């Protein structure tokens, strides 16, 4: 039987993989809450893949690959909807977004691949490498930040307007004033961050004396 265009679209949307990239330096409860929220909101999403950046990514204070990978693994191993990938950690330099998405698509050729991005980065997406391929081939799940409005951002950018059907908003914002930078500063200053992190990650940081220098 030949499927209608609508049926093909529905089938595609029922089978989706979401890429969640970041430094995860360290991973916080809010990171995992965002991933869980995406799974709740989009029933077609089968898995969320955490992709930590390479330690050679140009970001100050970035902990070594093995520590950030191990911290993520302790949590992703306990959730059958979470996956962990080291594809950005394999070489000596960090991959750009389109390279990561291409690799994930090869691993899951029959899935729709999406990725999570903040609205602050969405504003600059047209300047990224292969930006049109990125937005035309993959779906984008956007977290609105700093009072940004997704519709306004799209309407101010011709590339985003062209492919607006591929851009979706994560509805319920994860409200937290604490990010990884804040957590690292607290650890360095000898302050407790126990309830900002999963217990396993808190204990791992203590055991390996991370972020204290």
Structure tokens, 3: 């499927």
The angle at the Cα of 160, spanning 159 to 166, to the nearest 5 degrees, equals: 125
How confident is the model over 115-168, as pLDDT tens digits?
Answer: 999 999 999 999 999 999 999 999 999 999 888 999 999 999 999 999 999 999
Beta bridge partners of 84: 50
Query: Which pTM value belongs to this model?
Result: 0.89
d(CA 69, CA 52): 7
Is the domain defined by 8-176 classed in CATH 3.30.70.3040? no
DSSP helix, strand, coil percent of the chain (3-state; round to 5) = 45, 15, 40
Give the per-residue pLDDT at 146: 84
Rg of the chain's alpha carbons, rounded to an integer? 18
Mean pLDDT of the chain, nearest integer: 91
Taking the domains of the chain in order of start, what are their residue ranges?
A: 8-176
pLDDT of residue 15: 85
Q: List pLDDT tens digits, range 82-94.
A: 999 999 999 899 9
**SS3 for 20?**
strand
């Amino acid at each position: 039987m030949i499927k209608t265009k609508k049926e093909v679209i529905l089938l595609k949307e029922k089978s989706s993989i979401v890429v969640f990239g970041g430094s995860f330096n360290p991973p916080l409860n809010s990171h995992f809450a965002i991933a869980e929220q995406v799974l709740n909101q989009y029933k077609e999403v089968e898995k969320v893949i955490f992709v930590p950046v390479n330690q050679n990514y140009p970001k100050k204070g970035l902990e070594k690959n093995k520590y950030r990978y191990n911290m993520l693994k302790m949590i992703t191993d306990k959730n059958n909807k979470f996956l962990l990938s080291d594809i950005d950690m394999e070489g000596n330099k960090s991959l750009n977004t389109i390279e990561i998405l291409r690799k994930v698509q090869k691993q899951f050729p029959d899935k729709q691949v999406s990725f999570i991005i903040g609205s602050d980065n969405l504003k600059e997406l047209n300047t990224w490498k292969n930006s049109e391929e990125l937005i035309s081939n993959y779906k984008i799940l956007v977290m609105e930040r700093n009072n940004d409005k997704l519709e306004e951002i799209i309407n101010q950018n011709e590339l985003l307007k062209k492919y607006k059907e591929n851009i979706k908003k994560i509805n319920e914002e994860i409200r937290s004033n604490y990010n990884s930078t804040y957590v690292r500063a607290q650890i360095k200053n000898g302050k407790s961050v126990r309830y900002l992190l999963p217990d396993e990650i808190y204990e791992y940081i203590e055991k390996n004396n991370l972020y204290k220098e």
